[in-house]
Amino acid sequence: MDELVELYQEMILDHSKAPRNFGRLDPHTHHAEGYNPLCGDQCDITLTLRDGVIDEVKFTGAGCAISTASASLMTEAVKGKPIENADVLFAKIHHLLTTDDPPADDLGKLQVFAGVRNFPMRVKCATLAWHTLRSALRGANDVVTTE
Ligand code: ZN
């Protein structure tokens, strides 16, 4: 188990230091901002939806390592996928972070966040990007908070 924990930490560190899909998409079809007041994390997501598929997605933001890594891994996970897949992933991530059940096999790299549930204060850091993505997909331009 310690090896797994180390692997998780390495992947989170890697994505927080070198976030994937970092930046702003212009033009874009959807946009939302998210804020996690507990930790001060900010997340700004722009994406382009084409025929129900998330064609391109980028994020900017400032926050802790977990929130940045989560946004980075989220963009990798949903890019090129239909909206429905993003919704399913959101539900699985939420389940992963808020229960003690074993991670779903098909979560792939997102399983790294299993390590976060031991730190309840950080769960909202890990879900911020997902809440923001959902808000963007729903076309709500309001700022979402994790509260
Ligand atoms: Zn945070």
Rounded to the nearest whole angstrom, what is the distance from the C-alpha of residue 41 to the centroid of ligand 1? 5
Q: Which of the pair, 9 or 74, is modelled with greater confidence?
A: 74
Residue 141, pLDDT score? 57
Rounded to the nearest whole angstrom, what is the distance from the C-alpha of residue 42 to the centroid of ligand 1? 9
Q: Is the pLDDT of residue 53 over 60?
A: yes
Rounded to the nearest whole angstrom, what is the distance from the C-alpha of residue 52 to the centroid of ligand 1? 30
Strand order in 143-145's β-sheet? Answer: 53-60, 41-50, 30-36, 143-145
| 16: its two tokens | 């927080």
Nearest to 7 by CA among 95, 115, 91: 115
Rounded to the nearest whole angstrom, what is the distance from the C-alpha of residue 50 to the centroid of ligand 1? 31
Mean pLDDT confidence for 88-97: 92
Rounded to the nearest whole angstrom, what is the distance from the C-alpha of residue 4 to the centroid of ligand 1? 22
Rounded to the nearest whole angstrom, what is the distance from the C-alpha of residue 88 to the centroid of ligand 1? 23
Rounded to the nearest whole angstrom, what is the distance from the C-alpha of residue 51 to the centroid of ligand 1? 33
For each of the domains in the chain, give its residue range(s) and CATH number, in order of start: 2-145 (3.90.1010.10)
Q: Which of the pair, 60 or 5, is modelled with greater confidence?
A: 60
Query: How far is it, in rounded angstroms, from Cα 100 to Cα 140?
Result: 32
